[in-house]
Amino acid sequence: MSSINQTFSAVAVALLLLAMTGCALQSPVPALEADDLPATFTTRSDTNDITWPESDWWQNFGDAELTSLVEQVQAGNLDLANNQRNLLAAQIALREAGFNLLPRASLTVGTDATYRQSRIDGVRESNNADSPFALTAAISYTDILSKPAIYTQALADYDSRAAQTADVTLTTLGTSASTYFQLLLTRDKLTAAAQNVSNAQAISEIADARVEAGVAVPIEALQQRIALQRELANQRALQQSDLAARASLALLTGQNVQGLNLSGQTLQPIEAPQVQPGLPSELLLRRPDLVQAEAQLRSAVAGVDIARSDYFPSISLTGSLNASSTSLSELVAAPDLFINSAATIVQTLLDTGQRSRTLERSRLTMENSLATYRRTVLAAFNEVEVLLSAMQLQQEQVDVALQNLGAAEESFRIAQVRYEEGVSDFLTVLTTQNTLFSSRNAYLDAKLQQLNTVISLYQALGGGWQASDIERLNP
């Protein structure tokens, strides 16, 4: 028995040494350039508090219906469900890759005993009743030097898939929030359109009365009727936009538009939350697309190592322990034992340059992956900078638009009273009316743009996701 232990101990030591040799062949992942990572974001808000997005970032808008809608999207979106199933399949593939990293072991039991009968003049015959029973334990380890790099590539590919899934989820939830705000904007505009129609109708009635009284020319009434019809047409178009937005949200939640009931009517109470990220270097682990690009770079580096391993001998180890006996009881109690072990080393001497070409292609792929990673990082940092600056600008624009709306409402009120009293002419009323209509739309558009910028910033900062959220199924 000591010889058996010594044999398998020697095999284990050999496997360990060869595995360590394989790991030594793995190359480090190229680093980013020093200038690719800024020390800090140049645009900062008035507060010094660091508020990276949380995984439930949509709750920061303080709208319960938005929270409920996002939960429906998470539960019912068909694309997200497909992505989760694909991710589970990728987890299983990663586990299989982990098992492939280990030696293959097998245990078989059988017998060579056979039974045969034939009838010759009514005589039945059988043979070989004493054939031995056999128990075989075997272990094999092939392509030893390349296995660590192959597993490293499989792990990087899985990380890339997991990050891609997170990126799709983040985009889907961001689209849901933006579409919901678009629906509220449409309903705000419907309210404004109703006010515009009411104002236009009132001025039209005044114009008709002045024409009948002979104090105004008919053209004034005709122009106002045109303005009234324009506002009625705009109102009908907004009603169609409301239906289109609800249909989009219904699809995102995985249901028919008839089954989606959203009671929100206005953007007015929704406040744009303040966001101030921390160090830019943290973004590398918070944005799924950056993690995905880095994982693709790791996969490409592993591909170079796999191609480089072809220059080394292909080493395989096998070992087996055979036990045999003429009966099952003796197979357990006192079997005849046989030990076999073998090592195979195969070296390619001539391949007409195929290995060299494969290695060169792998290196070019790695260099492309590094360039793609750098470009993705630079684009991400620039995007955050632009959005941080846009948040400050758009808050100012919302404030100005709100002031302009108040001034337009007061101007129209004064012009309407003066026109009714015959002090002001129709052109003044028409001008202030159009200014009021455009001011309402400008304020609503500025409000929506501000909220969408916050959503984009949450997405640009990773939406609360981190690379540590990736779950792996190890063997």
pLDDT in tens, 399-430: 999 999 999 999 999 998 988 888 888 778 87
Cα–Cα distance, 29 to 223 (Å, whole number): 71
Report angle CA 92, 94, 97 to the nearest 5 degrees: 115
Residue 459 has pLDDT above 90, yes or no: yes
- Is 53 exposed, middle or buried (CB count within 10 Å of its CB: 0-12, 13-18, 19+)? buried
Query: CA 44 to CA 30: how far, in whole Å?
Result: 31
* Cα distance between residue 288 and residue 15, in whole Å: 37
Task: Domain ranges for the chain, please list them.
Answer: 27-103+160-313+357-469
CATH superfamily name and code, 27-103+160-313+357-469? Outer membrane efflux proteins (OEP) (1.20.1600.10)
Residue 45's pLDDT is: 53
Rg (alpha carbons) of the chain, rounded to whole number:
37
Alpha helix positions (H), 117-260: 147-212, 218-252
Q: What is residue 215's predicted lDDT score, i.e. its pLDDT?
A: 81
Q: Binning pLDDT at 50, 70 and 90, where does residue 112 land?
A: low
pTM exceeds 0.75, yes or no: yes
Q: Would you state the structure tokens that stand for residue 53, as one six-digit string?
A: 């997005």
Nearest C-alpha neighbor of 201 from the set 158, 243, 171, 230: 230
Instruction: Tell whether the model's pLDDT for residue 456 goes beyond 90.
Output: yes
Listed residue (172, 171, 176) closest to 67, CA to CA: 176
Separation CA 343–CA 11 (nearest Å): 10
With a cut of 90, say whether residue 157 has pLDDT above it. yes
Report residue 1's pLDDT band, with 50, 70 and 90 as the boundaries.
very low
Please, which residues bridge with residue 119 across strands?
124
Lowest average pLDDT, out of 222-226, 315-319, 458-462, goes to 315-319
Residue 285 has pLDDT above 50, yes or no: yes
- pLDDT tops 50 at residue 306: yes
Distance separating alpha carbons of residues 68 and 253, to the nearest angstrom: 11
For 451, residues 6+ apart whose C-beta sits below 8 A from its C-beta are: 61, 181, 267, 270, 272
As beta bridge partners, residue 323 has: 135, 337
Cα angle for residues 429, 432, 436 (degrees, 5° grid):
135
d(CA 354, CA 351): 6
Q: What percent of the chain has pLDDT over 90?
A: 46
- Tokens representing 426? 């129709």
What pLDDT, on a 0 to 100 scale, did the predictor assign at position 3?
Answer: 47
**What is the pLDDT confidence band of residue 166, given thresholds at 50, 70 and 90?**
very high
Q: Could you tell me which of 357, 58, 419, 6 has the C-alpha nearest to residue 208?
A: 419
pLDDT tier for residue 388 given thresholds of 50, 70 and 90: very high
